[in-house]
Amino acid sequence: MGVRVPPSAQLSTLDNDKPSGLRVLFYYISLTLNIKALDITLDKQSAIEASIKITLKEADYQPKVDEKLKDYAKKASIKGFRPGKVPVGMVKKMYGPSVLVDEVNHMLSHALNDYIRENEIEIIGEPLPNKEKAAGINWETQKEFEFEYKVGLVDEFKYDLSKKQKVKKYKIEADDKVLDDTIENIQKQNGDNTTPEVSAAEDTLNGELKSVEGEFTTQAAIEITKLMKKDQKKFSGLKKDDTIVFDFKKTIKDANYQTQVTGLQGDDLNNLEGEVELTVQSITRNEPAAVNQDLFDKLFGKDAVKSEEEFKAKVKEEVEKDFDKQSDYFLDLNIRDHFLAKVKIDLPETFLKEWLLLANEGKFTAEQIDKDFENFTKGLKWDLIKNKVAKENEIKVENEDVQEIAKNQLVQQFGGNPAILAQLGDKLDEFVQTYLSNNEGENYRNAYAEALGNKTMAVIKEKIAITDENISFEKFQKLVAN
């Protein structure tokens, strides 16, 4: 579902937080002002749920309200009065309630934030105002106001970061089958496409695909080798303008390839049932590139590889690099799952569901949030564990760390080619700074979070016991699929 999680879900104290932009009744901002101490109390219903009550008396807000009304009177332009000569009483009658609401909102937002920070209250999400109480306020006549906010708390939890914690790391073997398959793919990717008159087993059929019964129609390209083996034979021997009828989902079992062929997904793909017909408009055949010096030079540069043996060694090296990345990624997942299973963290689930519903501004229903809630809580618990590890191990992120992450992100945006960044030369640092400041600071926050996460994972890996296990690529794929 992809429920949007505001930044405050990912850190445990408001002192390090940025608000999500959620607006329910009052603006929630994180500036610090010198506001007179208000009557604020914390009422803990449990270790993970509480309410914060703020009481405002007339003496708390009235001086600021009067000051703003006087300022309004100086600037107001009202028919019948010269500029700056509008009576304060008239301005108060016209604008008093709205000025009062603005000032109270202003005081509440700062007071609430300051109270949470100064008392080091670890919260999850953002405070939620009691809307029923707020709706009952009479801004015309009341002199004293009481506001209440629900908050979700982070309960104390323990974790063991020692060699007693054992996690497997899989070293994927680049065996002969993997190398042969990789080289075959390289040959296909660098080969030439031809357009034969009659289809054969390795060809791709291009044409109009439509439901036999129904309104679905699209232009499709179907690789015969991606079909069920028992059906492939009848797709050979076809010519331009031939039509073949087949049961779509029985012939193409892979859901991802179903989406690739049709462009449909989700309910739209589920609703595509029964037989379809393909009218062939053209046939594409790949003629694999020969394994020779031309291919070596094309892939690795002029004379960097000079023999088939060197070519295979280079391919193996590249495959193993990719396998190492996959292995490292899967190790991170294993570490996460290991600690999620070992560490007990209680969460204020009812509060979190209400907060997510409001924070996502009507984009998702309560039912959709319920459906994705388990995944959300897993991510939240893992963030809480990592944040505690970072805090207790005094992990710091320097500006250089953030810049390095930004450079890597830019490499990905440029298609993963570091040479493009190298061409920027002296302008690279300037380019990185511009990138980090874009998107209202979101790029910087993301880079900072990634840098902190990387450093925290490095500490975790250093302190636990990681055991290596050799595994074939085929077995690794099955393991990941499960």
- The answer on 52 and 164 residing in a single domain is no
- Say if 43 falls within a structural domain: yes
The number of folded domains in the chain is: 3
Cα dihedral across residues 199, 205, 208, 214: positive or negative = positive
Provide the residue range defining the domain that includes 197: 192-287
pLDDT of residue 420: 67
Tokens standing for residue 128: 């939620």
pLDDT of residue 419: 65
What does the DSSP 8-state code read for residue 16? G
- Say if 350 falls within a structural domain: no
- Say if 387 falls within a structural domain: no
CA distance 285 to 204: 6
- Say if 438 falls within a structural domain: yes
Q: What φ, ψ does residue 208 adopt, rounded to 5°? A: -90, 125
- Say if 351 falls within a structural domain: no
Tokens standing for residue 200: 């054969």
- The answer on 109 and 237 residing in a single domain is no
- Say if 448 falls within a structural domain: yes
Tokens standing for residue 391: 């805090």
Q: Which of 279, 271, 272 is nearest to 241 (CA)?
A: 279
- The answer on 427 and 335 residing in a single domain is yes
- Say if 37 falls within a structural domain: yes
- The answer on 470 and 333 residing in a single domain is yes
CA 108 to chain centre: 31
CA distance 202 to 54: 73
Q: What is the CATH number for 46?
A: 3.30.70.1050
Residue 126 near residue 29, CB atoms below 8 Å: no
CA distance 38 to 108: 9
What does the DSSP 8-state code read for residue 438? T
Q: What φ, ψ does residue 332 adopt, rounded to 5°? A: -60, -40
Measured in residues, the chain has a length of 482
CA distance 142 to 402: 50
CA distance 148 to 129: 6
Reported in sequence order, the residue ranges of 233-349 that DSSP labels E, i.e. its strands, are: 243-247, 275-287
- The answer on 331 and 281 residing in a single domain is no
Tokens standing for residue 299: 């892939």
Tokens standing for residue 265: 């997904």
Residue 72 near residue 99, CB atoms below 8 Å: yes
Q: Which of 367, 473, 384 is nearest to 124 (CA)?
A: 384
pTM of the model: 0.72
- The answer on 56 and 17 residing in a single domain is yes
- The answer on 448 and 324 residing in a single domain is yes
pLDDT of residue 412: 78
Residue 420 near residue 414, CB atoms below 8 Å: yes
The pairing of beta strand 39-44 with beta strand 49-56: antiparallel
Q: What is the CATH number for 197?
A: 3.10.50
- The answer on 202 and 224 residing in a single domain is yes
Half-sphere exposure (CA, 13 Å, Cβ side) for 43? 9
Strand partners, 221: 206
- The answer on 277 and 147 residing in a single domain is no
DSSP result, 370-391: HHHHHHHHHHHHHHHHHHHHHH
Contacts of 215 (CB under 8 A, 6+ apart): none
Half-sphere exposure (CA, 13 Å, Cβ side) for 179? 15
Print pLDDT tens along the chain (482 aa).
Answer: 333 333 332 222 223 333 232 222 222 322 333 344 688 999 999 999 999 999 999 999 999 998 888 887 777 777 767 676 677 778 788 878 888 999 999 999 899 999 999 999 999 999 999 988 888 889 888 999 999 999 999 999 999 999 999 999 999 999 999 999 999 999 989 999 999 999 999 999 999 999 998 889 999 999 999 999 999 999 999 999 999 999 999 999 999 899 999 999 888 998 898 999 999 999 999 999 999 999 999 998 899 999 999 999 999 999 999 999 999 999 999 999 999 999 999 999 999 999 999 888 878 889 999 999 999 999 999 999 999 999 999 999 999 999 999 988 877 777 666 666 667 777 778 888 888 988 888 999 999 999 999 999 999 999 999 999 999 998 998 888 77
Give the position of tokens 């892979």. Answer: 254
Cα dihedral across residues 190, 195, 198, 199: positive or negative = positive
Residue 347 near residue 48, CB atoms below 8 Å: yes
Q: Which of 103, 100, 106, 109 is nearest to 143 (CA)?
A: 100
- Say if 354 falls within a structural domain: no
